[in-house]
Amino acid sequence: MRALLISLGGVIAIWCLSFGFFIIDAVSFKEIAQEQCDNVVVLTGGKNRIRHALQSIKTNQPKNIFISGVYAKTTLNDILGEDENKEDVNFILGKKAKNTFENADEIDNWVKINGVETIVLITSDYHMRRSILALTHKNKNVKIIPCASKSKFNFYFFKICVKEFHKTIYVYLKFLFDDFKG
């Protein structure tokens, strides 16, 4: 019984340390891309991601903004509104993805078709690590510049990070086993 309690304590300690590192990693992503890039990729699903991408037009002046995971009936005007400045930017709406793995497929197809070598990736800070894992597993040749949409550090952030932490562990293990089998 004592060995079981010690083992359980060890597992809990490892989980707590790993989760702490996950939180530190999430909040460490920059809000502004550190490099100029012509191609911005946005993953839908979190608050402020699209707004963050539109702000990148002013700072990065990209040529393309690819928005992955857009609902099938959504139009560009639904996303941007009528008065948003759309000049000089090519907006591409990816409407096939329904999850992070499908985002990676959709983005990989767009990257390959258009010969894109570098992207600025915009997603929520808590979602960034898993998104980078999925994209790099799909295409190891594309350079990813993370640009996080920052979350407020509150109970909701903590709650969503617990969920995202477990999803990220799942992705690490899935890719590890996929690589091991392949």
**DSSP for the chain, written as a single string:** -HHHHHHHHHHHHHHHHHHHHHHHHHHHS-SS-SS--SEEEEE-SSTTHHHHHHHHHHHT--SEEEEES--TT--HHHHH-SSS--TT-EEEEE-S--SHHHHHHHHHHHHHHHT--EEEEEEEGGGHHHHHHHHHHH-TTSEEEEEEEPPP-SHHHHHHHHHHHHHHHHHHHHHHHHHHH-
**Burial bucket for residue 29 (CB in 10 Å: 0-12, 13-18, 19+):** buried
Report whether 157 contacts 151 (CB < 8 A). yes
Q: What is the pTM of this model?
A: 0.89
Domains for the chain: give ranges and CATH numbers. 2-181 (3.40.50)
Buried-state track 102-141, b at ≥16 Cβ within 10 A, e below 16: ebbbbbbebbeeeebeebbbbbbbbbbbbbbbbbebbbee
Token pair of 43 as six digits: 């993953």
Q: What span, in angstroms and rounded, lies between the C-alpha atoms of 40 and 37? A: 7
Has residue 87 got a pLDDT over 70?
no
Candidates 44, 31, 48, 61; CA nearest to 147 is: 31
Q: Tell whether the model's pLDDT for residue 103 goes beyond 70.
A: yes
Residue 182: pLDDT band with limits 50, 70, 90 = low
Q: Which amino acid is at 115?
A: G
**pLDDT tens digits for 4-27?**
889 999 999 999 999 999 999 999
Predicted confidence (pLDDT) per residue in 108-159, tens digit? 999 999 999 999 999 999 999 999 999 999 999 999 999 998 889 899 999 9
Q: pLDDT, tens digit, for every residue of 155-173?
A: 999 999 999 999 999 999 9
